[in-house]
Amino acid sequence: MTERRLSPLDKLLARADNALRTLTPGTIQAERAPAHASAEPDAPEAGSLPTDKRRHVLGLMRINHTGEVCAQALYQGQASTASLPHVRHAMEEAAREEEDHLAWCEERIQELGGVPSKLNPLFYAMSYAVGATAGLVGDRWSLGFVSETENQVVKHLEAHLFQVPESDLRTRAILEQMKSDELKHAVTAKDAGGADLPPPVRHAMTLMSKVMTFTTYRI
């Protein structure tokens, strides 16, 4: 009921506020901790990792942080154009859950002595446009896009877990919890009626993901 009373300007300001909060370090606080984090009080500090491994983990977490920036933009874009209220609400709820991931990644990047990617504003804008377009095409395709996106994210997280040292329990706890959450989002979107995307679309998404990972690891 509250949402129906929002004017177009109110909605525009809400989207702008989300973008600013997403792109401004320190503004989003996690509402929960990764499932296994509290059980790992002796997890090594960033300084205990060898320099080369610390630098590599930092690059991986920068990629994951930008991925969460993109997720926020995608969900907000889709919510802005979704036709069915329950689909729009599902997108907004998923975006709220992804905020924990954003905060975890940002905090870990700081602990490792780094900063988020400078390309985040660009990727946010691109992802918002893609999300809004997916919403315009239709809710079945929008949900299918969410499912495919989350499945690809799960594969990235599995690859990153393989590269993170076993001794880096804190990073591993974050990635494991993110993987669990993303898989849940993929299944939820599929069960809600998400359509299977055509192979060319999936390939284009994979290519875009490769561009993002290559650049944000370094910049």
Nearest to 117 by CA among 165, 67, 76, 49: 67
Judged on CB neighbours under 10 Å (0-12, 13-18, 19+), 173 is buried
For residues 195 and 26, give the distance between their C-alpha atoms in angstroms, rounded to a whole number. 36
Query: Binding residue per annotation — 92?
Result: no
Query: Binding residue per annotation — 185?
Result: yes
The H or E element that residue 132 is part of is helix 120-137
Query: Binding residue per annotation — 99?
Result: no
Query: Binding residue per annotation — 86?
Result: no
193 backbone φψ class: left, alpha, beta (φ>0; ψ -120 to 50): left
Q: How far is CA 30 from CA 49, 57, 91, 144, 174, in A?
A: 25, 21, 18, 27, 12
**Do 67 and 153 form a contact (C-beta atoms < 8 A)?**
yes
Query: Binding residue per annotation — 182?
Result: yes
For residues 73 and 171, give the distance between their C-alpha atoms in angstroms, rounded to a whole number. 24
Query: Binding residue per annotation — 101?
Result: yes
- Give the annotated binding-site residues: 68, 98, 101, 150, 182, 185
- Give the annotated binding-site residues for Fe cation: 68, 98, 101, 150, 182, 185
